[in-house]
Structure 1
Amino acid sequence: MQTHFSPRLLADSDMSQSETILRACVHCGFCTATCPTYLLTGDELDSPRGRIYLIKEMLENDRPADARTVRHVDRCLSCLSCMTTCPSSVHYMHLVDHARAHIEKTYRRPPLERLLRAALAFTLTRPALFRQSLRAAALARPFARLLPLRFAALFDMAPARLPPPSPVDRPQVFAAKAPRRMRVALLSGCAQTVLDTRIHEATVRLLTRLGAEVVVVKGAGCCGALPHHLGRTDESHALARKNIEAWTREVESSGLDRIVIDASGCGTTVKDYGHMFRDDAALAQDAAHVASLARDVTEVVAELGLAPQIDVGALRVAYHSACSLQHGQKIADLPMELLRRAGFDVAAVPESHICCGSAGTYNLLQPELATQLRARKIANIETLAPRAVAAGNLGCMMQIGQGTSIPILHTIELIDWACGGPRPAALQG
């Protein structure tokens, strides 16, 4: 793609990088074949290629975002399926992240929308506040139908019952239960510590059983992904900075071999910390080192080696490949391989490259499109007639779980069970 950025604009690191990304695009349109929103709307501007044109025109002319550009960029899930498809290796993720930051700085949204986005960024990243907000939302759910769909979706997503806080999410060290082969930090994160405590618990049980010492590091928390994808870079960088500093202290004091992440959306962001802080002279080196240590939990399980201990009866499992795992981290087959080695009968969900509609806060901000994508995903899952669904990201689990009675579990819960952990509660009976 031909570009005409001025030297003044190219002096900015983000602009320079975006110009390089834009130049890599050859307009081939391969991305349109795998873009979920284009699949639903048929609108070229709801495809990566269409959004690239809008973003180029906005950035190249250094103008404030307009309503049309905002509408179509907001509709992007950041599923990154286009990056998997693109033959020219266009790094769409960094381009759309830059566009969202520019929109946040230059576009004045309607008051209610500003309030909603600010509330999500502030609340979801603070577990104690998030827990209280969910309790309030559950009480107010009977009145939610009086609200517009976008706001009613907030109440629909609130679970009727929350698990109590888990002791594994407090700063501490879990000793390896086999000869120690690795020392790892577990990202406790934010929303997952409120919505589903079983995932971290299964991760700690499994990794310690396989020979890893697991530490929950004091000072580490939300990875920053939620505000980052809302264009609120100051907030996302502040959260990421705390993690980098906390993990760096741990590396320097006691050492870390890996940073383990069992929420794939968080993993994609932590693995990008080096890029996010590339221009920060004080933090760039530490950020790059932290990113180099980051691994999805399935990657660490594969390093340690599986040790199945029980017969799970070839339970039929449909594997849903979270976009942040298959497209963001390029981990597609490994979770299925581990599940098969653990004794499960695993089938990939048809149209596995198409997003389920969760995408962080997307199902709250774009409920109409998200609901259509969920229905399509569930229809594909049900063709497999599975006994359970496995996924590597809590957002996907909640999104899919809202529309089906099939039990949906984190991949690590199933592997932990096969390796001697408790049978998941969702499969009891």
Structure 2
Amino acid sequence: MQTNFTPAQLADPEIAVANEILRRCVHCGMCTATCPTFVTLGDELDSPRGRIYLIKDMLESGRDAGAEEALHIDRCLSCLSCVTTCPSGVDYMHLVDHARVHVEKTFNRPLADRLMRAGLAWVLPHPARLRAALLLARPARGLGFLLPGHGMLAKRLRAMLRLAPGAVPRAAPLGRVYQAVGARRARVALLAGCAQQVLAPSINAASIALLNRLGVEVVIPPEAGCCGALVHHMGRHEAALAAARANVAAWMAQVEGEGLDAVLVNTSGCGTVVKDYGFLLRHEDCAAGAAKISSLTQDISEFLMKFYEPVRAAPGLSVAYHAACSLQHGQQVTAQPKTLLRKAGFKVVEPKDAHLCCGSAGTYNLMQPEIASALRRRKLDTLRALGPDVIAAGNIGCLTQLAGDGVPTVHVVELLDWMAGGEKPQALR
């Protein structure tokens, strides 16, 4: 793609990166066939190619974002299916991330939109605030149909109530160091996450217990918090950088202390961003540390490939594996979770169109409820067609999005922990 940025524009390192990305696009349109929003809506501007044209025009002209750019960029799931498909290696992730920042800085959103986005950014990355919000929402759960109107605000509020869990699990305070059982074979840091701590503390508990039994010491530095993904995908660049800096500092203190063999992430949406810390913080004083952390970061399934051994006989369950977009497209981790589940003795089945998003995508199912609902229904239909006993995934957002349709949803690591001597997942009891 030909671009026409001025030398003054290209002096901005962010524009220089965008220019290089844009120049790789050859307009082939292969991305449209695998883009969930284009498949759902049929609008060229809701395809990666269409968004690339909008972003190019917006950035080259140097103008503020308008309603059209905001609409179609907001509708992007950042599922990165287009990155997997693209034959030219277009780095769409960093391009749309930059566009989101530009929209956030220059577009004056409607007041209700601004308030909701600010509220989500204030609540979701902070476990205590999220827990309080969910407890307050519990009495209203199931009453979303009483909300008046058919506008976007009413639809978003109804989506929030639908996604609120019927019961909020007890808080599970996380320690600092969890010792390996027997001889220590490795030492890792585990990202505790933010929303996952509140929605499903059993995932971290299963991860820690499994790793410990496999001879892996687990450290969770109290200074490490939210990875920054939630605010990052809302275009709140400075908040995302602040979260990334804090985590890099916390984990580098461990690297330079007793050392780390890996930084493990059991929420794939977080893992994609943590693996990108080296790029996000490339102009910061902590750039070298950020690059080091990115190089150490692995999805927990990647790490377990070297250590995992089941000790229980297989229960004969059919597991429908849902490949989270952030794992299969964002991190290109595809075979490892399925290999581990089969090693544990489960029958693993996969739906058709496994490359398409379920509609979760961070806060997408709250901000774009209609599209997210259509994608959820499509995904559940393909999963249920397999007749599974359980749906497994590696991302809390996907598990929350797909829950409540009659088939239990369980994190992959909970199933692996069960077969390695741990507790049976609560959803299967």
TM-score where L is the length of structure 1:
0.97
Out of 365, 379, 382, the residue aligned to residue 381 of structure 2 is: 379
Which residue of 1 is the match for residue 253 of structure 2? 249
1:337 pairs with 2:343: no
The corresponding residue for 2:74 is 74
- In 1: Cα distance, 2:312 partner to 2:351 partner: 26
The residue that corresponds to 1:106 in the other structure is 106
Q: Percent identity?
A: 52
Secondary structure class of the residue paired with 2:349 = strand
**Secondary structure at 2:108 match in 1:** coil
The answer on 1:352 being equivalent to 2:354 is: yes
Helix, strand or coil: the match of 1:125?
A: coil
Cross-structure match for 1:175:
179
Shift of 1:156: 1.5
2:371 aligned partner, one-letter code = L
Change in CA separation of 1:314 and 1:142 when aligned onto 2, cut-off 3 Å = closer
Q: Distance in 2 between matches of 1:422 and 1:157?
A: 26
Correspondence for 2:304: 301
**Structure 1 position 142, deviation (Å):** 5.5
Superposition pairs of residues 28-427 of structure 1, within 5 angstroms: 28-141=28-141, 143-145=143-145, 146-147=147-148, 148-167=154-173, 169-170=174-175, 172-280=176-284, 282-304=285-307, 306-402=308-404, 404-427=405-428
Deviations 1:38-58 (A, max 9, x none): 001110000000000000000
CA contact (8 A) 2:141 2:166 kept: no
**Displacement after TM superposition at 1:279 (Å):** 1.1
Q: Distance in 2 between matches of 1:199 and 1:143?
A: 29
Task: Kindly tell me the number of residue pairs found equivalent between the two proteins.
Answer: 423
Say which SS state the counterpart of residue 185 (structure 1) adopts.
strand
Structure 1 Cα separation of the partners of residues 392 and 224 of structure 2 = 27
Q: For 2:309, give the aligned amino acid.
A: A
- 2: CA distance, partners of 1:268 / 1:115: 27
2:19 corresponding residue in structure 1: 19
Letter in 1 for 2:294: A
* 1:425 positional shift: 1.4
Q: Which runs of 5+ in 1 are unaligned?
A: none
- 1:141 shift after superposition: 3.3
- Counterpart amino acid of 2:298? R
1:101-152 per-residue CA deviation (whole Å, 9 max, x = no partner) reads 0000000000000000011011001110110011111223365331511222
Q: Could you list the per-position Cα deviations for residues 178-212 of structure 1 after superposition, in whole angstroms to 9, with x for gaps in the alignment?
A: 32111000101110000100000000011111111
Q: Deviations over 1:354-409 (max 9, x none)?
A: 0000000000000000000000000000110000011000000000113x110110
Q: What is the distance in 1 between the residues matched to 2:395 and 2:292?
A: 24
- 1:288-318 deviation line (CA, Å, top 9, x unaligned): 00111111000111122x2111112331000
TM-score by length of 2: 0.97
Residue type matched to 2:426 in 1?
A: A
More displaced stretch, 249-258 vs 376-385: 249-258
Q: Tell me the C-alpha RMSD between the 2 structures.
A: 0.9
Gaps of 5+ in 2: 149-153
Give the match's secondary structure for 1:303. coil
Matched with 2:151 is none
Q: Which stretch of the first structure deviates more once superposed, 251-260 or 142-151?
A: 142-151
Amino acid across the alignment from 1:4: N
Partner Cα separation in structure 1 for residue 343 and residue 427 of structure 2: 21
* Partner SS for 1:259: strand
Q: Secondary structure at the match of 1:4?
A: coil
Deviation at residue 75 of structure 1 after TM alignment: 0.4
Q: Following the alignment from structure 1 to structure 2, what is the Cα–Cα distance between the partners of residues 181 and 60? A: 53
Give the secondary structure class of the aligned counterpart of 1:279. coil
3-state SS of the aligned residue for 1:120?
Answer: helix
Counterpart AA for 1:68: E
